[in-house]
Copies of this chain bind each other. A is one copy, B any other.
Amino acid sequence: MKIYTKTGDKGETSLIYGSRVPKDHPRVEAYGTLDEANAAIGTAVSLFTAENDAFKESLQRVQALLFHAGAELATPAEKEVQWKLKPKHTNDIEAEIDRWTSELPLLKQFILPGGCPSAAALHQARTIVRRSERLIVSMAEGNRNDEVLRFINRLSDYLFVAARYAILLHETEEVLLVPDI
């Protein structure tokens, strides 16, 4: 089977289980944006140059979990989800946040997004995850999945702390916001 099937050339596509929807359907917007966030995390991994396999593996596990979130959003409300996102998954990233935070200086102000290239990419991923969160929120009430929303909310905090941790690992500097008032 060729990668290009041409079946979407007129603007329609398929959800899991096959129902046809326009490509600007709220579900497609939501999982399409998770795909975009996933790609940004991939960029962060690709730019990560410090010796720390556990950090990379943590990010790649999150990438896999985004496929769970995507599968859930691509499955019509009445059908069974095969790659289910579980409370355990959110708990795992919370534990990671706690571990990293315990090694970082306490923060009471905003920082300028950036740092080393990998940290900068994590900030970009963070903001794209937040964009996808807004799109999930705007899906009709009955279609929204609470566990996905909880996971995605926590994920942007995970990525914020991951960006700070990448700066620590690359021995670069955190720049605090100084408002120009």
Binding site for B on A (CB under 8 A): 2-4, 6, 8-11, 22-24, 28-29, 32-33, 35-36, 38-43, 45-47, 60-61, 63-65, 67-68, 82-84, 89, 94, 97-98, 101, 110, 112-117, 119-121, 123-124, 126-128, 130-131, 133-138, 144, 146, 149-150, 153-154, 157, 160-161, 175, 177-181
A121 to B44, CA, bound (A): 10
Interface of A is mostly: helix
Measured between beta carbons, the chain B residues less than 8 angstroms from A4 are 94, 97, 153-154, 157
Question: Which of B3, B47, B131, B133 is A33 in contact with, Cβ under 8 Å?
Answer: B131
CB-based contact B64/A127 at 8 Å:
no
